[in-house]
Amino acid sequence: MTAVTPALGEHELALHDRARAVIPGGMYGHMAVTSFSAAHPQFIVSGDGCRVTDADGREYLDLMSGWGPVVLGHRHPGVTAAVIDQLGHGDCLDGASPVAVDFAELLVDTVPSADWAMFCKNGTDATTTCVTTARAATGKRKVLVARGAYHGAVPWCSLRGAGVTDEDQAHLVHYDYNDLSSAEAAAAEAGDDLAAILVCPMRHDVKRDQELVDPAFARGLRALADRTGSVLIVDDVRCGFRLDLGGSWEPLGVRPDLTAWSKAIANGQALGAVTGIEALRDAARSIYVTGSFWYAAVPLAAGLATLTELRKGRALPDMVRTGQRLRDGLAQQAVAHGFEIRQTGPVQMPMLSFAGDEGFRLVTAWAEAAGERGVYLHPWHNWFLSAAHTDADIDDILDRTNDAFAALG
């Protein structure tokens, strides 16, 4: 049996009190831990490989990987060396660093649909830049988006209503993921004002099982964009650099016109990117997008080091192997403990739910029991493997999840 520690130590609780006084809600956004668990620490002081340590010195085997960005493991030596080296030259300078050119060249060489690249800070910048480019290229306004899909947390695409006006989203037309006829109906509704079709490589909306893309749907969206003269944008912010380095739809042979990247692109440094086809180069040049920190050299150096490491070819197959080991182990445990579970999505981006689990009560209790046994995972958002997970780490995780299933009684 693995050790069980009572949820939340004294340093954690003291930080909660201090945070509530000076940060609205104590914390906000996806990292507001109270929104999903009573047994996970809010504050993490360090990370190493596939382990993170909280403010009370408790170590967790990490299945969230910084919620996606950490694809090679926390403090990966090669990326850390690149960061330290670039810091020795400077980060935020008066012009872009040459490393921007180095990294753009590497992206264009890696991603078949990329003839050019632009950099920004995060995934929302990237999706917003894609939409702006598409509107500039077409002179049209409407954007098709899948109902419930997450493309960032600014008013034009936010999924939460507070502080967002109807006008902010007036030019979005919704379709249902994997339902081509609904996308065709949305395109018809947009009529001759259709600028872009925005789509994620798979359905990974929170609080529902993940759903892989139907290849016919992906091909159908490509044809729909071609037929309507609109721009096909793939939001690869979450899946990018975990499924296929050339882009997550590359195995399907479906190439986007524009792709939004972020999360895993720089192993945890703040960086986003847009890549696009030759025909959209002038439109990308015509728009005005920028930011004080968009040209910072350290994240670009981290991106260059991350993609260089990924291109060696071991990280993705390793994540598939360890992800499959985790999935197989969890499936066996559920059967042994008499629970019916579903595991969805690609194995390197796992998600687990319990059958008939009203209000996520069972999965939350299980995730909290795992947290108390030193495994950091989420009840209703997908998890992320990193290349730092070894088979032995997965077995260690499985020992603890087995006890978490047992604790559900």
Helix (H, G, I), strand (E, B), or coil: what is residue 47?
strand
| Least separation in angstroms between CB 193 and ligand PLP | 24
Q: Which one, 241 or 354, has the nearer CB to ligand PLP?
A: 241
| CB-nearer residue toward ligand PLP: 127 or 343 | 127
- Taking the complex as a whole, how short is the minimal distance between the CB of residue 222 and ligand PLP, in angstroms? 19
Sheet holding 272-276, edge to edge: 116-120, 272-276, 258-261, 231-235, 194-199, 142-146, 172-175
Least Å distance between CB 384 and ligand PLP? 10
Q: How far is the CB of 150 from ligand PLP (least distance, A)?
A: 5
| Torsions phi, psi for 343 (to 5 deg) | -120, 125
Could you tell me how far CA 107 lies from the centroid of its own chain?
18
In the bound state with ligand PLP, the residue whose beta carbon lies nearer, of 87 and 154, is 154
Burial zone of 2 (CB within 10 Å; 0-12 exposed, 13-18 middle, 19+ buried): middle
CB of 61 to ligand PLP, least distance (A): 23
Q: How far is the CB of 404 from ligand PLP (least distance, A)?
A: 26
Of 19 and 153, the one with the shorter C-beta distance to ligand PLP is 153
| C-beta closer to ligand PLP: residue 269 or 402 | 269
**Which CB sits closer to ligand PLP, 31 or 81?**
31
Return phi, psi of residue 144, to 5°. -80, 130
Radius of gyration (Cα) for the chain, nearest Å? 21
Quote the strand ranges of 55-160, DSSP E.
59-62, 116-120, 142-146
Nearer to ligand PLP, 193 or 250 (CB): 250
Minimum Å distance from CB 263 to ligand PLP? 6
The SS3 of residue 120 is strand
Q: What is the 3-state secondary structure (H, E, C) of 230-289?
A: CEEEEECCCCCCCCCCCCCCHHHCCCCCEEEECHHHHCCCCCEEEEECHHHHHHHHHCCC
Considering beta carbons, is residue 114 or 131 the nearer one to ligand PLP? 131
Nearest CA-CA partner of 218 in 204, 229, 194, 202 = 202
Q: CA-CA distance, 353 to 368, in Å (whole number)?
A: 14
Contact 125, 287 (CB under 8 A): no
- E-only strand ranges, 59-168: 59-62, 116-120, 142-146
Q: Nearest residue to ligand PLP, using CB? A: 123
Q: How far is the CB of 28 from ligand PLP (least distance, A)?
A: 13
Q: From residue 122, how far is each of 69, 126, 261, 315 by CA, in Å?
A: 11, 6, 8, 23
| β-pair partners for 375 | 61
Residue ranges that bind ligand PLP, judged by CB under 6 A: 122-124, 127, 150-152, 200, 235, 237-238, 262-263
In the bound state with ligand PLP, the residue whose beta carbon lies nearer, of 41 and 152, is 152
**CB of residue 282 to ligand PLP, shortest distance in Å:** 25
